[in-house]
Amino acid sequence: MSVVLACDLGGSSFRAALIDRSGATQAECAIPGPVLDDHLDRSEVAAEAWWTLLLQAAGRLADQAPGLFARIEGIAICGVTRTQVFLGHDGRELRPALTWKDARADAAGARLRETAGQHSEAGRINAFHPLARLAWLAEAEPADFAALAQVLEPKDYLNFRLTGRQASDPISAARLVASALPAGAGSLLAALGLSSSVIPTLLEPCEIVDSVRAGLPAPFDRLAGRPVFCGCNDTWAAVAGLGALRTGYAYNISGTTEVLGVLGPAEIEAEGLITVDWGGLWHLGGPSQNGADTAAWLAGLLGGQIGVGQQIESWLAGRRHPQPLLFLPYLQGERVPYWDPNLRGAFIGLNRHHGPTDLAYAVLEGVACLNRLVLERAEAALGRPVGEIRFGGGAAANPVWAQIKADLCGRPVIVGSAREPGLLGSAIIAWTGLGQFASLAAAQDALVGIARRYEPDPARKAAYDALYALFRRSEQALAPISTALAALARNPGPLPGLANAAAEP
């Protein structure tokens, strides 16, 4: 039996699996991700820590299934995006990578928008945009900026460590590539004093970066010469693993954070959503800052004593108060559709009789309300509703959350049979690249199965429509207060307790 090594670098863990030609997982492991250096608007991590995770995960698989490990035919890695690894000319990282949460480039992004003129990328520049991150680097750390040679995504960095070649794919690098397009006096990248050479060679996800080089630490010393495929970001791979990488489909990936989008045949725009050419399919949607991590926050806040998933399920099994709560899920600012690092979360409507069950429902419904907002904007731009939402990630194992999403969004929610669609998507990349399938579509048809289907409950429509309307009103009312509170964090004054909390994130 031949297998591929499929890897998924997530926001809070690293997963790896040996997956055969039928899409069956023969061996799998998960390792907690490195602790991010988070404090206020800072979020960074050493890219070297991801390489250590890859070595550890592969080592565990080699120990679990040594025979299968020896029969690996290829390697494909997907990973978190909106995260920049800055390399010098010697291939070493100049400083820790800026993660998807880092908001220090907010002011630099605002200045860039003012000077970008009519450039097509101008309206997309925000604190999470790679160009804004580069502008921040130039201002805050000029020595590192001057030494910059390449900007890589996390999975590109791992591919580089495996092969010695720096490359990316046009989907993961789309925003950086767009910044290098000429307009008027020059490109936005050139306006920062950078050439397009900071963008690595671009390959399609199923193309080979190079072979695993000789002399690597165990267990990759056993895989020298095996092809490493370029791969793509974790969202693209998970969408493939759900069988939704085709026109007319919607998807919702709920991992540490959530991503929701639709795929269409033509380029369209919608306020606050990301439009990217996914190789002939046009993606409209994008990532939020909340998801399973929001549920984990609630479990920690309330002192849950068991695993997060079990804890949430136990609270959902309790009795709910007739008066619902509203929850604004903006615990870390927000990306799609607001791109505002200063948004803050809130529970609204608390009374003395509310308990953990009510808070748990409010958190799940608050995330689903944001799903609905993104879906509404995407469908309005498409000019038609989608027929279903393919749902994957850790939260898809919770039937209550899947039903809430179906009821609030008013669309069937379909859960794929792959427990880890990102891993299956990486395997689809590798097997397609190896020639096992004629196309990605053929690979999806052959390897993706459906586990469960959740239909919207008509009896809940009126109540959820009313709750969603209140959610939207609450967002609009509290956004200015969020901005003011975020400003206080930067200039807090003599509030009690701050001396002891100065080092807290």
DSSP string, 473-493: HHHHHHHHHHHHHHHHHHS--
Q: Domain check: are 363 and 480 in the same one?
A: yes
DSSP 303: T
CA distance from start to end of the chain:
48
Q: Rounded distance, CA 149 to CA 158, Å? A: 17
Residue 221: inside a domain, yes or no? yes
For 249-282, how does the pLDDT look when each residue is reduced to its tens digit (9 = 90+)? 999 999 888 999 999 999 999 999 999 999 889 9
Task: Kindly state the tokens that stand for 267.
Answer: 């380029």
Residue 165: inside a domain, yes or no? yes
Q: Rounded distance, CA 121 to CA 131, Å? A: 10
Q: Domain check: are 177 and 67 in the same one?
A: yes
Identity of the residue numbered 200:
P
Nearest to 152 by CA among 133, 135, 124: 133
Q: Is the pLDDT of residue 342 over 50?
A: yes
Q: Is the pLDDT of residue 505 over 80?
A: no
What sign does the CA torsion over 29, 239, 294, 483 have?
Answer: positive
- Is there a contact between 63 and 70 (Cβ–Cβ < 8 Å)? no
For 463-504, how does the pLDDT look when each residue is reduced to its tens digit (9 = 90+)? 999 999 999 999 999 999 999 998 888 777 778 887 655 444
The total of other beta-carbon atoms located within 10 Å of residue 315's CB is 22
CA geometry: angle 13, 162, 257, nearest 5 deg:
25
Matching residue, tokens 């309206």 = 123
Matching residue, tokens 């799998």 = 28
Q: What is the mean pLDDT of the chain?
A: 94
The CATH number of whichever domain residue 108 belongs to comes to 3.30.420.40
Task: Kindly state the tokens that stand for 77.
Answer: 């890695």
b or e along 106-127 (b: 16 or more beta carbons within 10 Å of the residue's beta carbon)? Answer: bebbeebbeebeebebbebbbb
Q: Domain check: are 92 and 203 in the same one?
A: yes
pLDDT, residue 166, reads 98
Q: Domain check: are 223 and 75 in the same one?
A: yes
Q: Domain check: are 229 and 325 in the same one?
A: no
- 394 Cβ contact partners less than 8 Å away, ≥ 6 residues apart: 254, 255, 292, 309
Q: Domain check: are 68 and 209 in the same one?
A: yes
- Determine phi and psi for 40, rounding to 5 degrees: 55, -115
- Is there a contact between 285 and 259 (Cβ–Cβ < 8 Å)? yes
Q: What percent of the chain has pLDDT over 70?
A: 98
- Is there a contact between 255 and 291 (Cβ–Cβ < 8 Å)? yes
pLDDT, residue 184, reads 67
Q: Rounded distance, CA 153 to CA 209, Å? A: 14
Q: Is 287 helix (H, G, I), strand (E, B) or coil?
A: strand
Residue 51: inside a domain, yes or no? yes
For 377-412, how does the pLDDT look when each residue is reduced to its tens digit (9 = 90+)? 999 999 999 999 999 988 899 999 999 999 999 999
Residue 40 pLDDT grade (very low, low, confident, very high; cuts 50, 70, 90): confident
- 413 Cβ contact partners less than 8 Å away, ≥ 6 residues apart: 252, 388, 389, 391, 402, 403, 405, 406, 453, 454
pLDDT, residue 183, reads 75
DSSP string, 190-232: HHTT--GGGSPEE--TTSEEEEPPTTPPTTGGG-TT-EEE---
- 192 Cβ contact partners less than 8 Å away, ≥ 6 residues apart: 131, 134, 135, 138
Burial class (CB in 10 A: 0-12, 13-18, 19+), 186: exposed
DSSP string, 376-424: HHHHHHHTS--S-EEEESGGGG-HHHHHHHHHHHTS-EEEES-S-HHHH
pLDDT, residue 171, reads 95
Query: What is the total count of domains within the chain?
Result: 2
Domain span at residue 152 reads: 3-234
Chosen domain end from 191, 210, 234: 234
- Is there a contact between 468 and 460 (Cβ–Cβ < 8 Å)? no
Chosen domain end from 210, 234, 258: 234
Chosen domain end from 212, 234, 256: 234
Q: Rounded distance, CA 157 to CA 49, Å? A: 11
For 184-212, how does the pLDDT look when each residue is reduced to its tens digit (9 = 90+)? 667 999 999 999 999 999 999 999 999 99
- Is there a contact between 211 and 253 (Cβ–Cβ < 8 Å)? no
Q: Domain check: are 220 and 298 in the same one?
A: no
Q: Rounded distance, CA 34 to CA 55, Å? A: 13
pLDDT, residue 504, reads 45
For 144-167, how does the pLDDT look when each residue is reduced to its tens digit (9 = 90+)? 999 999 999 999 999 999 999 999
Q: Domain check: are 224 and 297 in the same one?
A: no
Residue 255: inside a domain, yes or no? no
- 450 has which bridge partners? 416
Residue 98: inside a domain, yes or no? yes
- 45 Cβ contact partners less than 8 Å away, ≥ 6 residues apart: 34, 35, 36, 37, 96, 97, 99
Q: Domain check: are 211 and 300 in the same one?
A: no
Q: Domain check: are 24 and 155 in the same one?
A: yes
Q: Rounded distance, CA 229 to CA 206, Å? A: 6
Q: Domain check: are 332 and 195 in the same one?
A: no
Q: Is the pLDDT of residue 418 over 50?
A: yes
Matching residue, tokens 């100065």 = 502
pLDDT, residue 502, reads 45
Identity of the residue numbered 126:
N
Residue 39: inside a domain, yes or no? yes
Residue 271: inside a domain, yes or no? no
pLDDT, residue 501, reads 53
Residue 225: inside a domain, yes or no? yes
Q: Domain check: are 36 and 161 in the same one?
A: yes
